[in-house]
Structure 1
Amino acid sequence: MFPLHFLSLLFISAQSPERKESGRACEQRPEKEREGDLLFQRGDLLEVPRTLFTHFGIYLGEGRVAHLIPDILPIFSHDQWKIRQMVTNARLILGVLVKCASVRVDSVEDFAYGSQILVNRMDQVCSRPPLQGEEVARRAEKLRGAVCYSLLWYNCEHYVMYCRYGTLVSFQTFQFCKTVREMLLSRSVAKGTALLGACLLLYFRTVSTCALLPAVTLPSIIWMAS
């Protein structure tokens, strides 16, 4: 269980709500929906900062947000009531591992989960102009349901970027790959790989072609790519 508890720090913490809402909560819902429509417009791109990443969604109006989130539960259950409940850490992490997700609609409060919501910040960095709000919302609603998930190649940011700008791109993925490339494809790594190869050759006391070729080729490739 330790890996799940550790990974939960990177994702959304969520508590499963009770099956029946209180009468007071039901009375407050229309008011919350009106507040959402005062703060956001239909088709707005909403983003919520998390611990190590940002979660994205599309505002649909009436206090509702469409967003893509990893979830393993639809694989094992067809109970729509259970599936509609807020996604827990275990459901989310297992969904990431098996590459299963769903585009679902939640309330603004459940989407934000107590964090600050930022609106349309991607308009400042995306080279493409945003589509009309109604078209953005229609795209977001059309894609509802189960989808394949990839942490790098199709995540919540790819989903909202397609809905609002018509392009599948993730700046978070780009930054992550850039950081990994800088860490692995550096001159210091090339030197360390060459030194490790030399030490292994000396330790095993072999200079055969099969051993010498990777010991020379790998550091050379890293050096040229750095």
Structure 2
Amino acid sequence: MFPPHLLALIFISSATSQPPPEEEEEEKKKEKDRYDLMFSRGDLLEVPRTLFTHFGIYLGGGRVAHFIPDILPVVSSDQCRIKQMVTNTRLILGVLVKCGSVRVDSVEDFAYGAEIIVNPMDKMCSRAALQGEEVARRAEKLLGDVAYSLLWYNCEHFVMYCRYGTVMSFQTFQFCKTLRKMLLSRAVAKVTAVLAASLLIYLRVMNTWSILLAVLLPFLIWMAS
């Protein structure tokens, strides 16, 4: 068995290894003050992710309002779990079921280790930015569960509405433009025509409707290209 005085030393050292609550509160206050010097209330914050860019609105005090897909509010009512940082699994499942929420997280949780860019859309959007207080109030009014759509209503749509009063997404526009170039091209139209003709010959289906369908689909792709 350990001598009593050695156990006491171990207990004292472990008890004093953590800072007192007062020091923790002071550290948190310093962190919030530091972010308030870096950002202004109503700033649009952007962080690059692996496959996309994430956006949020700075509310002050080291807090960021952002729209993020999340499956947990659908399957649980435990607010303590829901308020925890959204994991990748929760995020992906939220995208699939089109469920999300506008929530408030710390700057650290929002950035997830990435570099933060401030108000990058001011140079891209034709509309002037609203006043910072109005931007923040708009974000705060939208807090809560919101239907999520990867293309039609995502985090960029949310911040664009809050800061500029317009619901749009440059990411969505660029994605649709790229997809259009890939699918609606003359090469795709030619390949579709060949495949359709080959399928008709292979299946030996030569009636009016099948031939019309085989001609119509490549024609529509050709005209849209």
What is the TM-score normalised by the length of structure 1?
0.88
Aligned equivalents of 1:139, 1:28: Cα separation in 2: 30
Deviation of the 1:94 alpha carbon: 1.1
Inter-CA distance 22–54: structure 2 relative to 1 (3 Å threshold): farther
Q: What amino acid is the match of 1:196?
A: L
Residue-by-residue CA offset, 1:27-49 (whole Å, 9 max, x unaligned): 42111101111111000000000
Aligned equivalents of 2:53, 2:24: Cα separation in 1: 29
Deviation of the 1:202 alpha carbon: 1.9
Q: What amino acid is the match of 2:37?
A: L
Deviation of the 1:78 alpha carbon: 2.0
Give SS of 1:103's match.
strand
Inter-CA distance 22–65: structure 2 relative to 1 (3 Å threshold): farther
Aligned equivalents of 1:78, 1:71: Cα separation in 2: 13
Q: For 1:44-63, what aligned pairs fall within 5 Å after superposition?
A: 44-63=43-62
Inter-CA distance 22–186: structure 2 relative to 1 (3 Å threshold): farther
Structure 1 counterpart of 2:135: 136
Structure 2 counterpart of 1:78: 77
What is the TM-score normalised by the length of structure 2?
0.88
Residue-by-residue CA offset, 1:168-217 (whole Å, 9 max, x unaligned): 00010111111111100000000000110111122123321121011111
Aligned equivalents of 2:63, 2:142: Cα separation in 1: 15
Residue-by-residue CA offset, 1:138-159 (whole Å, 9 max, x unaligned): 0001110111111111100000
Give SS of 1:199's match.
helix
Structure 1 counterpart of 2:195: 196
Q: What amino acid is the match of 1:85?
A: Q
Are 2:224 and 1:222 equivalent residues in the alignment? no
Aligned equivalents of 2:126, 2:189: Cα separation in 1: 36
Structure 2 counterpart of 1:15: none
Unaligned runs of 5+ in 2: 1-18
Are 2:170 and 1:171 equivalent residues in the alignment? yes
Give SS of 2:85's match.
coil
Unaligned runs of 5+ in 1: 1-20
Inter-CA distance 79–206: structure 2 relative to 1 (3 Å threshold): closer
Q: What amino acid is the match of 1:96?
A: V
Q: What amino acid is the match of 2:184?
A: L
Q: For 1:32-111, what aligned pairs fall within 5 Å after superposition?
A: 32-111=31-110
Aligned equivalents of 2:101, 2:205: Cα separation in 1: 54
Q: What amino acid is the match of 1:176?
A: F
Q: What amino acid is the match of 2:181?
A: E
Q: What amino acid is the match of 1:30?
A: K
Give SS of 1:46's match.
strand
Give SS of 2:100's match.
strand
Structure 2 counterpart of 1:158: 157
Aligned equivalents of 2:20, 2:212: Cα separation in 1: 71
Q: What amino acid is the match of 1:192?
A: V
Give SS of 2:151's match.
coil
Q: For 1:10-49, what aligned pairs fall within 5 Å after superposition?
A: 23=21, 25-49=24-48
Are 2:118 and 1:119 equivalent residues in the alignment? yes
CA root-mean-square deviation: 1.4
Structure 2 counterpart of 1:14: none
Give SS of 1:134's match.
helix
Q: What amino acid is the match of 1:148?
A: A
